[in-house]
Amino acid sequence: MAELGPARSWRTGFFVCVWLLLFLSVSSGSRDVSGGNETSGEPARDTPEDPHHQTNSTAHKKAFPVLSFNYHDVRKPFVISLWILLALLMKLGFHVIPNISNVVPESCLLIGVGLLVGGIIKAIGEDAPVLDTKLFFHYLLPPIILDAGYFLPIRTFMENMGTILVFAVVGTLWNAFFIGGMIFAVCQIEGVQLASVDLLSCLLFGTIVSAVDPVAVLAVFEEIHINELLHILVFGESLLNDAVTVVLYHLFEEFSHAGTVTVVDGVLGVICFFVVSLGGVMVGAIYGILGAFTSRFTTHTRVIEPLFVFLYSYMAYLSAEVFHLSGIMSLIACGVVMRPYVEANVSHKSYTTIKYFLKMWSSVSETLIFIFLGVSTVAGPHAWNWTFVISTVLLCLVSRVLGVIGLTYIINKFRIVKLTKKDQFIVAYGGLRGAIAFSLGFLLTDKERKNMFLTAIITVIFFTVFVQGMTIRPLVELLAVKRKKESKPSINEEIHTQFLDHLLTGIEDICGHYGHHHWKDKLNRFNKTYVKKWLIAGERSTEPQLISFYNKMEMKQAMMLVESGSAAKLPSILSSVSMQNIQQRGSGNRRAIPSISKSREQEIRKILRSNLQKTRQRLRSYSRHDLMLDPFEDNVSEVRFRKQRVEMERRMSHYLTVPANRQETPSVRKVCFEPEHQVFTYDNSESPRGPRARPDPGPLDAVSLLSESQGPNKSREQKAKVPEEQEEQDQLKLSRCLSDPGPNQEEDIS
């Protein structure tokens, strides 16, 4: 609390800036942002800046204008950027204010800000931008869906696929018809003045309002961290119901113009559903395979690798939209298909880039969507009808609860891990509506009832996001729903999962039963023998999954070690078990140092070296197209570098535990780092078998490590929870990379 003084002044300064920006954005005429539906022509009322234009055009001034003002040309990008900046500053602001973000989910806050901005714009008297459908569906929605699809937990998703599909398809159908039908019944009640609403319009309305929205679900569920099963159930449902929504929407819209429905139309509708969903998936899969295939050849142009991922996915989405197929499913399919192959092919940096760009774009999109939702609420013409709105909200709740309970009863007969009452409650409560419903409602062409429908939709959205979104977190805690376990990737788990898979496949074969495991196994084998060879470059195509998992883990540990060595201090270890406790005594020829494939080794080396030898890199020339291994920005000074080097040495020396029986080298050796003079490379030609810890590592003028025989006692107070063997391996790798008696002092980073 001692920093309250400066913190407060920062905060006030921050808010002043934000409000200034707000005023600027509002007054600069935000009309241009909307697609054109709501724009009137150029308004008669001038904005404050416009009069400035006049000064340049008068003829009697002959002097050359040193400073001129021409806002008109850059208006559109300027305003767009301003809006995005505003949105992000708002997001930032919520975390500056303490305690708000614990109670209120971010989506609510953003809608609130949108309402505020909309109110200000309206108070000034201008037309506020509305969440244009084209803008939403083509620019704002795809990044969120791609982010979700690319990082979808495949295993859980496939395990629960049946459940998810039942909820998505049958659940949405039930919701749509129930809400539509009941609303029609309500409209027929005397004295409500809604008799003009016919059945088809009601059904159309029911369709729009019944779809669970992925954006809202993601926004709320991400903050409450429930267990993976529930998360994937609700989220998967929100993704897969897009096909149903698309088909029903187009169906009812066509019919409401035509007026009558026949059985043939119904059958065609069903066929259309299958075409839309399966077609969408196929389009996505094709683009995914293309993307994976392209990534195979990008070894020399690493910089543009992420772009392939993004562009192929976006093309998949747009191509699906061309044929009125389900764009969301296409995007998901593309991400899912592309991911394993792309990850095997791209460099580590590209992988990080892809990850962060996706997260960044989806975050921006989400923020903008919620803000625009708020602004549109204030802006749009409303037609409030108490009966209609209240009954819509009630019916939504009721139908959702009934639907979930009924479907779970049926589904539980086929599930081994049944869904409990708590699970059902969370699934029902998590059915949030969001911007997709709003945009679909916006597309309605029927003017007279459109406003009423829109009002009802907005009310439902507000209700679900605010009421349900805010209360779901305390409810989750109250009901003690299982939370997501933060577990590190564990090699044991991976081994046993694979073992179990094979075991159960084997048992199925012995029973003669062609079940779930059998087909999964067949698919895996097909993937391994044919697909991987085509889509993955180089030697990694034959790498078994366990090995790649292990390598990934090692890489992560190496990165963590190096990063923590240069910045913060390592967390303390809890366990002092090391390799020598496990190795059997007397087994002399067993190596303590494991080996991994050469290319991985080189990558790890590069990473480690780049961190320990930063001074060299500052001398290189800068080129925009080179992918330079950039030094960490916060360690520039030489003094700090040396200090950290010493720290690192000390830590490394504490970690190294060479098993007692293997000590064929003198127990204490000198440590000397000489980064400026000796840059060692791993020379492939030198040792054909790859890096092994040779018992006597050559000339002692090279860097060698202090081998610790005092045991890990000292280190326990200060050190890491990183599994010690990983540390040790990294140290040994480090020793190898630095102690290679490489006579060639060539450039290490090329």
Partner 1 sequence: MGALQSSPGQPEYVDLAKKTGFSFSQISVLHKRFLQLSHNGETLQRDHFNSIPDLACNPIRSQIIEAFFDRRNFRQNGEGPVEEIRFEEFLVVMSHFKPPSPRFVEEQRERVRREKLRFIFNMHDTDNDGTITLDEYRHVVDELLSLSEALEKDTAKSIADAAMLEVASTSMGHMEPDEFYEGITFEHFLKVGTQITHYYNTYVCKIDCLSKLAYSKCAFKYVIIVEYFAKSNKKSATFKESEK
Q: What are phi and psi of 51, to 5 degrees?
A: -55, -25
Q: What are phi and psi of 619, to 5 degrees?
A: -85, -10
Who's near 79: CB < 8 A, 6+ residues apart? 25, 28, 29, 30, 32, 33
Q: Is 541 in the site for partner 1 (CB under 8 A)?
A: no
SS3 assignment, position 63: coil
Smallest gap, in angstroms, from Cβ of residue 162 to partner 1?
Answer: 12
Facing residues of 226 across strands?
Answer: 483
For residue 461 the two structure tokens come to: 């959205």
For residue 724 the two structure tokens come to: 């010690």
Q: Is 505 in the site for partner 1 (CB under 8 A)?
A: yes
Smallest gap, in angstroms, from Cβ of residue 686 to partner 1?
Answer: 18
Facing residues of 483 across strands?
Answer: 226
Distance between CA atoms of residues 170 and 240, nearest Å? 11
Among 20, 24, 124, 495, binds partner 1 (CB under 8 A): 495
Query: DSSP letters along 320-341, please?
Result: HHHTT--HHHHHHHHHHHHHHH
x-or-dash pattern for partner 1, window 115-154, by CB under 8 A? ----------------------------------------
Q: Which of 324, 327, 296 is nearest to 313 (CA)?
A: 327
Distance between CA atoms of residues 141 and 314, nearest Å? 11
Q: Please count the other Cβ atoms lying within 10 Å of the Cβ belonging to residue 510.
A: 8
Among 497, 541, 602, 665, binds partner 1 (CB under 8 A): 497
Nearer to partner 1 by Cβ, of 242 and 554: the residue is 554
Q: Is 102 in the site for partner 1 (CB under 8 A)?
A: no
Among 17, 96, 195, 577, binds partner 1 (CB under 8 A): 577
- The vertex-223 CA angle with 235 and 16, nearest 5°, equals 125
Q: Is 241 in the site for partner 1 (CB under 8 A)?
A: no
DSSP letter, residue 78: H
Q: Is 422 in the site for partner 1 (CB under 8 A)?
A: no
Smallest gap, in angstroms, from Cβ of residue 735 to partner 1?
Answer: 17
Distance between CA atoms of residues 561 and 611, nearest Å? 11
Smallest gap, in angstroms, from Cβ of residue 523 to partner 1?
Answer: 13
Among 8, 225, 525, 642, binds partner 1 (CB under 8 A): 525
Residue 395 contacts residue 179 (beta carbons within 8 Å) = yes
Q: Is 657 in the site for partner 1 (CB under 8 A)?
A: yes
Q: What are phi and psi of 534, to 5 degrees?
A: -80, -35
Nearer to partner 1 by Cβ, of 8 and 556: the residue is 556
Distance between CA atoms of residues 149 and 328, nearest Å? 9
* Near partner 1 in 698-727, by CB under 8 A: 711-712, 723-726
Smallest gap, in angstroms, from Cβ of residue 591 to partner 1?
Answer: 7
Q: Is 744 in the site for partner 1 (CB under 8 A)?
A: no
Helix (H) or strand (E) holding 172: helix 172-187
Q: Is 21 in the site for partner 1 (CB under 8 A)?
A: no
Smallest gap, in angstroms, from Cβ of residue 392 to partner 1?
Answer: 38
Q: Is 487 in the site for partner 1 (CB under 8 A)?
A: yes
Nearer to partner 1 by Cβ, of 70 and 524: the residue is 524
For residue 583 the two structure tokens come to: 């190795």
Residue type present at position 448: E
Nearer to partner 1 by Cβ, of 107 and 729: the residue is 729
Q: Please count the other Cβ atoms lying within 10 Å of the Cβ belonging to residue 512.
A: 6
Smallest gap, in angstroms, from Cβ of residue 361 to partner 1?
Answer: 33
Q: Is 166 in the site for partner 1 (CB under 8 A)?
A: no
Among 250, 324, 355, 516, binds partner 1 (CB under 8 A): 516
SS3 assignment, position 483: strand
Smallest gap, in angstroms, from Cβ of residue 698 to partner 1?
Answer: 21
Among 198, 508, 603, 649, binds partner 1 (CB under 8 A): 508
Smallest gap, in angstroms, from Cβ of residue 259 to partner 1?
Answer: 47
- Among the residue ranges 298-306, 399-407, 513-521, 625-633, the one whose residues contact partner 1 (CB under 8 A): 513-521
Among 38, 501, 603, 649, binds partner 1 (CB under 8 A): 501
Q: How many residues bind partner 1 (CB under 8 A)?
A: 66
Distance between CA atoms of residues 612 and 746, nearest Å? 16
- Kindly list the residues in this chain that would bind partner 1 in the complex (CB under 8 A): 159, 416-418, 487, 490-493, 495-513, 515-518, 525, 542-544, 546-547, 550, 574-585, 590-591, 594-597, 657, 660, 711-712, 723-726, 729
